[in-house]
Chain A
Amino acid sequence: MVEAKRKLIDGNGKRLDGRAWNELRPISLQVGLMKNADGSAYIEWGKNKIMAAVYGPKEVHPKHQVLPDRALLRCRYHMAPFSVDERKNPAPSRREIEISKVIREALVPAVIVEDYPRTAIEVWVEVLQSDGGSRVAGITAASLALADAGINMRDLVVGCSCGLIGDQVVSDLDDTEDKEGDGDMPVAIMPNLGLVSLLQVDGIYTREQFQQAFELAIEKGKQVYGMQREALTAKFFSGDGAVSSVEEGTE
Chain B
Amino acid sequence: MPMIERKQVIPGDVIAKGNYRYGSYVEKRGDEFIALRVGLAEVGRDGVKLNPLTGSYLPRADDEVIGKVVDVNGFGWVVDINSCFDGFLPASFVFGREFSPSTHDLSSKFRVGDMIGARIESFERSRDPQLSIRGHGYGKIDSGEIVKISPTKVPRLIGRRGAMINLISEKTGCDVRVGQNGVVVVTGPPEGVAKTVKAVKMVEEEAHAADLMAKVEGFLGGSSSGGS
Contact = CB atoms under 8 A, between A and B. Distances in A.
A36 to B, nearest CB: 14
A236 B12 contact: no
B46 to A, nearest CB: 10
Interface stretch (A15-23, A159-167, A185-193, A200-208): A185-193
A149 B7 CA distance: 20
Contact of B155 (A115, A245, A250): A250
Nearest to B24: A152
Nearest to A112: B36
Interface string A172-212: 00000000000000000011110000000000000000000
A251 B158 contact: yes
A248 B51 contact: yes
A94 B34 CA distance: 38
Given A246-B210, A249-B161, A151 B12 contact: no
B70 interface: no
Interface in B144-198: 152, 155-156, 158-164
Interface SS of A by simple majority = loop
Nearest to B7: A244
A247 interface: yes
A234 B175 CA distance: 36
B12 A155 contact: yes
Nearest to A70: B125
A117 B59 CA distance: 13
Contacts of B34: 154, 192
A40 to B, nearest CB: 11
Interface stretch (A51-59, A84-92, A96-104): A51-59
Interface of A: 38-39, 56-59, 68-69, 110, 112, 114-119, 147-156, 190-193, 229, 232-233, 236-237, 239-251
A102 B124 CA distance: 32
Contact of A119 (B27, B84, B126, B155): B84
Interface string B43-75: 000000001111110100000000000000000
Interface residues of B, number: 43
B126 A117 contact: yes
A152 B37 contact: yes
Contact of A151 (B55, B161, B208): B55
Contacts of B7: 244
A169 B141 CA distance: 67
B162 A246 contact: no
Given A249-B159, A251-B162, A154 B36 contact: yes
Given A147-B37, A152-B36, A190-B12, 16 more contacts: A58-B84, A147-B10, A150-B54, A153-B11, A154-B27, A154-B34, A156-B10, A156-B11, A192-B34, A193-B12, A236-B54, A240-B209, A245-B210, A246-B208, A249-B161, A250-B155
A167 to B, nearest CB: 36
Contacts of A152: 11, 25, 36-37
Nearest to A251: B158
B6 interface: yes
A249 B155 contact: yes
Interface of B: 6-8, 10-14, 25, 27, 34, 36-38, 40, 51-56, 58, 84-85, 125-126, 152, 155-156, 158-164, 206-212
Contact of B162 (A119, A147, A249): A249
Contacts of A232: 10, 38
Which one of A59, A117, A249, A250 has the highest number of Cβ atoms from chain B below 10 Å of its Cβ? Answer: A249
A236 B158 contact: no
Contacts of B163: 249
Contacts of B126: 68-69, 117
Interface centre among A110, A150, A249 (most CB of B within 10 A): A150
Contacts of A193: 12
23 contacts: A39-B54, A56-B84, A57-B56, A58-B84, A68-B126, A119-B85, A147-B37, A150-B38, A152-B25, A153-B11, A153-B37, A154-B34, A190-B12, A192-B14, A192-B34, A232-B38, A236-B8, A236-B38, A244-B6, A245-B210, A248-B156, A248-B160, A249-B162
B203 to A, nearest CB: 12
A155 B156 contact: no
Nearest to B125: A117
A192 B12 contact: yes
Contacts of B160: 247-249
Contact of B37 (A56, A59, A150): A150
